[in-house]
Structure 1
Amino acid sequence: MTGQAGPAAPRSGGHRGAGSPFAGPFVALLVALLPALLMLSAPGAGAAGTRAADAKPVVTLSKQQAGKGGEITVKGTGWRPNTLLMMLICGQSTQDRGVIGGTNSCANAEGRAVTTDAKGAFRKKMPVAEPPVPCPCVVHVAAVTGEQTTVDAVFVVAGHPLAALPKETAGGRLAVLATTRLEGESGILTWFGAPPARQLVLTVGNLGSAPVKDPVFEVGTAHGVFAPQWEEQQWRGTIGSGRKAQIKLPVELTAGAHGDYQISLRYGGKVLAEQPWGVGRPWGVTLFWILLCLVVPAAVFRIGMAVVDKVRPRSSRAPGRARRHRPRRGTGRSTKAPKAPKTSKAAKPRRAPGAAEDPAAAPTDGPAATTAALPWFTPDSAPSENRPTTKGHS
């Protein structure tokens, strides 16, 4: 009985589980997720995802050799999404040493630009051109924006001269280990046309077997499509074998410079880094010229009006201005009394012929002379001019 009771319990429990409403969906879900759980638990699954995320950029060419005037298709994968790239055919270059002479060794006029898609891939056709230096040649693909990433693919330009690469100098060999940057800000004087200045900061490492003491770098400044202008600058210090150091080099443009510039660093004939620099327009200079164009004509107009006022005749001037500018004769105020207005002859009283002149009736100077004296005779006794005389004929 004991042996029979053992198997009876599982049958009873299985009958209760089969009757549960959640048993069927749970088993189906477990069966569906089992493959995914096995893949996650497999060794190396996480490493594969990391390798996919850290994939290096790759460039492939449709042709490994073509002549001038032909066309090739350049494909790339593993780049950063939505990144602007520049494609050039360069001479005196290899995959190991890169572009030795920098962009001066490339056919810049026939270069092409392309932007990667959301997956970091691109496909672009470009014409085949002869670089300005002999081969060996490569198709140089470099990121223009963001982190400086370059890939070189070996390419043969048919019919182009071939020459040996320059020998590497024995001893230390410097390489850039970190992203370059420009430090510094523009001041108020730069807004009025002063030369913009920055510091090129980068970290280099010595990959050679000998130390590098007081290295001499070349800093190039290029504007637009023009070739860079190189200037030698010496960094004081020693970089031992296998060591690294942070280098800061001053960079200065010409007065009034504005627009897009490209700063390059070269050592031992090899370009180590390139950094774009956008310089704003000096609007203070524009404001100065606008004010000058307004002030100078106004000043010339005022000077001309003053000259015209001086040289024109005095009679043509306004009366009020003539009286205002007339010089005074005396230095002090006059103490003389105002003169009385002159009386006309018709206003003087007539006297009889033969009558003696009355001194009292004579006008005197001063305010009293302005009033006419009354006659001593009455109006009836005054002689009339129309009355005939009583004298007889002589």
Structure 2
Amino acid sequence: MSSHVGGPARTRIAALLTAGLAVFALTLLPAAPAAVADEGQPTAALSLQEVAKGAGISVTGAGWRPRTLVMLLVCGQNMIGGTNSCANADGVAVAVGDDGHFTARLPVVGPPKPCPCVVDVTSVNGDGSTVALPIKITDHPVAELPADSGTGRLALLTGVRLEGDDGVLTWFGAPPTRKFTVTVGNLGSAPVKDPVFRLGTSHGVYAPVWEEARWKGTIAPGGKAEVRLDVTLAAGAHGDYTVSLKYGDKVVATQPWGVGRPYGVLLFWALLLVVIPTAVFRVGMAVVDRVRPRAASAAPTSAASSAAPVADAEAPTAVLPWFTPDTAPEPDAPPAPPAPHTPQTSAPSENRPTTKGHS
């Protein structure tokens, strides 16, 4: 029976059997420990961007689900219409390691459809992730893509990034803003005009909050464009955030975002706690100083002090105790002359020697 089977069909059957054996071998392997895969969407890269038909290229990937199978195909017409435009017989199946990386050697053969061509990298038994890598085959025909039929299909071509920095106002609690930038390609047969994406922001373990974001522009079939969308968080936001980009029902890209704490707000409140009590104290002291009866008490005191000499002048002259009323000196009389000295007639003192008489 095998003698009646053609060469291309035999090659295709062999490739399918190889992929099936690889999947069966992976199911027999023991369970692996926790995966150490890269966070975010899977990525892939080619060793050459332009190659001649019949040569080989190296394909490397990172961030894929560990211990799954990835299929590599060379496709024409940007894989419009699915795998019917791919060289299925010459596809390569490769197993992903425990760290989410893989490396494979892919032969470059002419796909059944003309270029523009891509290398399609698809997870077979994983989460269905797909990455399309543009490639130029030098000796393969090139034809225009039909732009008036079919539908557009956007796919992630390169990694994502968040552009922008925090300013001084953000340090004082202003909303942090970034530009979510990603390069996508149109793998469909129709142009995609003004695509509507959905941006989701999640904080920690919480579910993302989605908002629609329209990108203005047209992506032709087989073309690519850099999409830049504004992402804004709430005022005073800080901590670990994750920004996700969804097109249709599929998340095409994610990017972590670490937002610093707005220490300017803390400094403002600390100064406010010092300034307000000081201002209240000073206002209170000013009010007390204003309402204190200082002027009312000063007037009677001055009047009393000025009237005191008059009262003293009109008061009667005090009589000293050793003068009788009749012998008290007049206030305005001249002083009396001093009395003449008279010998002392008092008894001699005990300490004075006595005079002896004549014997």
TM-score, normalised to structure 2, is 0.48
TM-score, normalised to structure 1, is 0.45
Quick one: higher RCO (CA 8 Å, sep 6+), 1 or 2?
2
